[in-house]
Structure 1
Amino acid sequence: MHVPFARAIDADIHYEDSGGAGPVVLLAHEFFMDRTMFASQTAALAPEFRIVSWDARGHGRTRDQRLPFTYWTSARDALTVLDTIGAERAIVGGTAQGGFTALRAALVAPERVAALILISTEAHGPTPEQSKATQRFLDEWRDPGSRESAAVRLADWLIGDDEWYRKIWTRRWIGEAHHGLDAAVGCLLGRDSILDRIAEITCPVLLIHATHSGIADDRARLLAEVLNATYVEVEGARLAVTMTHPEPVNAAITKFLRDRVALTNAR
């Protein structure tokens, strides 16, 4: 079976492409997950839209050299995927860290970003409390004796009470152990705030806020206000909202793309 990669200078970025002639929608996943978190969006939106989901460095099938990188690097990885599939422009989106990447792609190459779909994300850097909590979790995760209990807590944080996805992902996390995450952890904990630059973004924006995602409501609303975004809340959802609440997510994305984005913008 052919596994497609986009060739960056120091990494092979794995992606999946629904194909078709519709506008390209490029989606980037949350930390500790991979492109498969958008399976429901691919099923619902293709073939009207060409859905391309990809694995970030340190995740999924992407192969990298475990060198330090930032979300600005990831933004260029996203553009490399577009180059590989021959897309001049795309609707670019992502969940949490995928949204960090999408925002930076719109700043690096605004001429290539027809619109943004931001899901459970923010423009701030991490707070000291967030950094400490994340570091404590990662220290526990690296201890084989506590990895299973850490995976359960990770499922609480990312997924919530959806037993189907909890079972799938805890099994996957424990089995894979994410040994190559050190550089990705450095990227997450060292990310810069881009609050002072988001007003430069002028393309149409959809912001879907999962109210139990850990992203503060006021931060989500501030980002939506500055970007003049279409703002949708999914009550009670966590970071994996694309999996656990696909109906409101897919409905919001479909309406946004049909109403706000010219279908010739991202072909």
Structure 2
Amino acid sequence: MPFAQVNGQKLYYEDTGGEGPVIVFSHGLLMDGSMFAPQVEALRSTWRCITWDERGHGQTADLARCDPFTYYDSANDLAALLAHLGVRQAVLAGMSQGGYLSLRCALTHPDLVRALVLINTQALPEQPEKMAGHEVLMKAWMENGLSDEIAGVVAHIILGDGWAGAPQWQAKWRGFTVPNLMQCFTTLASRDDISDRLGAITVPALVVHGELDNAIDLQRAQAMADGLPRASMVVVPGAGHASNLTHPEPVNAALAAFLARL
């Protein structure tokens, strides 16, 4: 299996290869690189598609520990992974947490970024009222394990209601260990506000947001799009937080149209 030893991490990644332009996909909290399978399948004939598992997630996770990190560290991981693969510039596509690190990568490694695709993400910290609910949920999970009730709530937040693929993700969530859950949630909760720095990101950007996102209000995505000098926004009807996974057709159409304009 492909791993990159960079920044003291053993990052798992998948790379379709080829000579086409590069797009790299960064996943959300509690997810992994496989959540972008619909996008990779749609683009792989014309784009070199790279997915990866971030710190504390998927096949990158060390089940026994997860050292403190920030999304700036994750941005550095992404830059180091691309350097490892010989990629000098790429489109960065990130969902939720993946958007947090992609925005920070654009701020700290601007020469690496050709464009941004920001899916169900934001530039602001978490809303206090939402954060309070997340804290209760995570505390119960870490203390008592992932019950069916908690798994249902997590699926509601990330995947929306009634999506057929939810059980396979709930099975993955049961594999999370307390060290990884604790540190990844701490990183999420303690991130900084970068909304006043968006004007420095001058590459083209596509903001995609599910109309029914339970994790990040649509208005926050619109504010991010308004703050980026060259952003356009697409709202996905009926979609929740992981809109690219649960509603791939409209997301792929928006993504293809955006990439064609670059």
The reply to whether TM is greater than 0.5 is yes
Q: Which amino acid aligns with 2:188?
A: L
Give the equivalent residue in structure 1 for 2:220: 219
Deviations for 1:65-121, whole angstroms, at most 9, x for unmatched residues? 511000000000110110111000000111000000100000011111000000000
Cα deviation for residue 145 of structure 1 reads 5.8
Q: Secondary structure at the match of 1:142?
A: helix
User: Mapping of 1:94-173 within 5 angstroms?
Assistant: 94-144=94-144, 147-173=147-173
Q: Secondary structure at the match of 1:30?
A: coil
- Is this contact kept in 1: 2:195–2:227, CA < 8 A? no
Q: Which runs of 5+ in 1 are unaligned?
A: 262-267
Give the equivalent residue in structure 1 for 2:33: 35
Cα deviation for residue 172 of structure 1 reads 2.2
- Is this contact kept in 1: 2:7–2:80, CA < 8 A? no
Asked if residue 248 in structure 1 is aligned to residue 250 in structure 2, the reply is: yes
Provide the rounded CA distance (Å) in 2 between the counterparts of 1:211 and 1:31: 19
Provide the rounded CA distance (Å) in 2 between the counterparts of 1:145 and 1:30: 21
Provide the rounded CA distance (Å) in 2 between the counterparts of 1:105 and 1:121: 15
Q: What's the TM-score once normalised by structure 2's chain length?
A: 0.94
Deviates more, 1:197-206 or 1:177-186: 177-186
Q: Which amino acid aligns with 1:38?
A: F
Provide the rounded CA distance (Å) in 2 between the counterparts of 1:251 and 1:133: 34
Cα deviation for residue 198 of structure 1 reads 0.8
- Is this contact kept in 2: 1:19–1:47, CA < 8 A? no
Give the equivalent residue in structure 1 for 2:176: 177
Q: What's the TM-score once normalised by structure 1's chain length?
A: 0.92
Asked if residue 257 in structure 1 is aligned to residue 256 in structure 2, the reply is: no
Q: Which amino acid aligns with 2:11?
A: I
Number of aligned residue pairs: give it.
257
- Is this contact kept in 1: 2:74–2:101, CA < 8 A? yes
**Structure 1 residues 162 and 53, CA gap change in structure 2 (3 angstroms):** farther
- Is this contact kept in 1: 2:209–2:241, CA < 8 A? no
Provide the rounded CA distance (Å) in 2 between the counterparts of 1:143 and 1:124: 29
Q: Secondary structure at the match of 2:58?
A: coil
Provide the rounded CA distance (Å) in 2 between the counterparts of 1:244 and 1:63: 25
Provide the rounded CA distance (Å) in 2 between the counterparts of 1:145 and 1:120: 27
Aligned CA-pair RMSD: 1.4
- Is this contact kept in 1: 2:4–2:84, CA < 8 A? yes
Cα deviation for residue 237 of structure 1 reads 0.9
Cα deviation for residue 125 of structure 1 reads 1.0
Cα deviation for residue 127 of structure 1 reads 2.3
Q: Secondary structure at the match of 1:164?
A: coil
Deviations for 1:50-75, whole angstroms, at most 9, x for unmatched residues? 11011111100014551100000000
- Is this contact kept in 1: 2:163–2:246, CA < 8 A? no
- Is this contact kept in 2: 1:242–1:249, CA < 8 A? yes
Residue in structure 1 matching 2:240, options 238, 241, 264: 238
Deviations for 1:146-167, whole angstroms, at most 9, x for unmatched residues? 6221111111111123442112
Q: Could you list the runs of 4 or more consecutive aligned residues of structure 1 that deviate by over 4 angstroms after TM superposition?
A: none
**Structure 1 residues 215 and 258, CA gap change in structure 2 (3 angstroms):** same
Q: Which amino acid aligns with 2:244?
A: T
Deviates more, 1:233-242 or 1:117-126: 233-242
Q: Which runs of 5+ in 2 are unaligned?
A: none
Q: Secondary structure at the match of 1:196?
A: helix
Deviations for 1:110-147, whole angstroms, at most 9, x for unmatched residues? 11100000000000012222221111110111233662
